[in-house]
Homo-oligomer: A and B are copies of this chain.
Amino acid sequence: MSNGDDGPLTVYGDLKSGNCYKIELLLQRLDRQYQWRQIDILAGAARTPEFLKKNPNGKVPILELADGCILCESNAILCYLATGTPLLPEAAFERARVMQWLFFEQHRHEPNVAEARFIIRFLNQGETEKDRLAEKHQAGYRALDVMEASLSARDFIAGAEYTVADIALYAYSHVADEGGFDLSGYPFIQRWFARIEAQPGYLSLEEARTRHGH
């Protein structure tokens, strides 16, 4: 199965977005070459006609293959790039367990943990959007509780091994404090952060930003 090994990859992204940082984390871990194209989401660069031709959903990241084929949705990109590597198990049930956490991330975690951070840090609406933020906090803590329970029983979120599910959930969890979440009551999540940060090829969000000059 090809996973884009046969030509240069282009990632269109913005490192304000943890969804984009996920792709960077995986590509570094896999030691893959790629070109990074900055799409400034706050300046509306994901809503231009040119970008919407690539992704009608108007979201980063997107992955462009050498032949011009385009893939959207951060977690679908993770699955594609990790195919054939230990970060995405081959066996059907183990793979489905990884998928379970990837869907959990996009449905229960990112819309709350990431959006709270976006409201506070990038939109500067922490004061004006108090009700909305309170809702995000309540639902976000519920998602973190589910993760904490899982991580109390295993080293990585889907089992004994590091997979793309860890990358997906790490991206916004490790900066949850920027969205007003207090993780001091989540010791298993914190130990899991340390295990991820000790992975070969790990680079911090700050390092990723510096690398791409923004």
Contact = CB atoms under 8 A, between A and B. Distances in A.
Interface stretch (A20-28, A33-41, A106-114, A185-193): A106-114
A104 to B, nearest CB: 6
Contact of A57 (B69, B92, B97, B146): B146
Interface in A51-71: 56-57, 65, 69, 71
Interface of A: 1-4, 56-57, 65, 69, 71-77, 79-80, 83-84, 90-93, 95-97, 99-100, 102-104, 106-108, 110-111, 145-146, 149-150
Contact of A100 (B72, B102, B111, B145): B72
A165 B110 CA distance: 21
Contacts of A99: 73, 75-76, 79-80
Given A99-B79, A111-B107, A111-B111, A93 B69 contact: yes
A205 to B, nearest CB: 21
A115 to B, nearest CB: 11
